[in-house]
Amino acid sequence: MRLTSFSDYALRVLMYAHSRKDRLVTIEETANAYGISRAHLMKVVNILTRSEFLLGVRGRSGGFTLARPANEINLGAVIRATEPDFALVECFNPDNRCAIAHICGLPIILNEALGAFIGVLDRHTLADITVNPGDFALPGDGPAPQRGPELAPAPGPVPEAVVERAGSDI
């Protein structure tokens, strides 16, 4: 399960713009700061501007900046604007062909899980993931450390020994 790199880059662009909130930033300097392609970021900045998360200024000394204070840029709203879809399974797609979609209970559970996921993001804004200009490593510093994911182990069936012990107490 992944978010698209488009969403990943969108969040990074917003974080970079926030770290330089006293001035306009350019696509080029943002691309350089993260070591990613300028071409990738052009469409990202376009969508973020159209969704009113960024404010673009045209011209030779143009660029972009946050369109609103960071604590008004909701992370859930950003992901809704940048993910192409939330089609967790085939029957969430318009061209669904699953034979049991009319009766299956799985979409209800997946919608609940999706709601829980986006609900967490809805409780956070860009202000919660602030970075400072000095936090951007210089080119050539090598890869940054890996972070996650941290997935709890699956709840298993009760081990047999525990069941037996519990039974002997009754």
- The interface with a copy of itself within residues 84-113 (CB under 8 A) comprises 85-107, 109-113
Which residue's CB is nearer to a copy of itself, number 62 or number 129? 129
The CB-of-166 to a copy of itself minimum distance in angstroms stands at 16
Q: Is 15 within 8 Å of 33 (Cβ atoms)?
A: no
The CB-of-119 to a copy of itself minimum distance in angstroms stands at 7
**Residue 162 contacts a copy of itself per CB under 8 A:** no
**Residue 159 contacts a copy of itself per CB under 8 A:** no
**Residue 160 contacts a copy of itself per CB under 8 A:** no
**Residue 39 contacts a copy of itself per CB under 8 A:** no
The pair of three-digit structure tokens given for residue 124, joined into one six-digit string: 């956070």
The CB-of-69 to a copy of itself minimum distance in angstroms stands at 9
Residues 81, 83: Cα–Cα separation, whole Å: 6
The CB-of-48 to a copy of itself minimum distance in angstroms stands at 14
The CB-of-40 to a copy of itself minimum distance in angstroms stands at 12
Which DSSP symbol is given to 155? P
Residues 148, 83: Cα–Cα separation, whole Å: 20
**Residue 131 contacts a copy of itself per CB under 8 A:** yes
**Residue 129 contacts a copy of itself per CB under 8 A:** yes
- Classify burial at 37, counting beta carbons within 10 Å of its beta carbon; exposed 0-12, middle 13-18, buried 19 or more: exposed
**Residue 145 contacts a copy of itself per CB under 8 A:** yes
Residues 56, 93: Cα–Cα separation, whole Å: 34
For the segment 45-64, give every residue that binds a copy of itself (CB under 8 A).
none
Question: What does 93-153 look like in DSSP terms, one character per residue?
Answer: STT---TTTTT-SHHHHHHHHHHHHHHHHHT-BGGGG---GGGSPPTTS-PPPP-----PP
Residue type, position 102, single letter: H
**Residue 133 contacts a copy of itself per CB under 8 A:** no
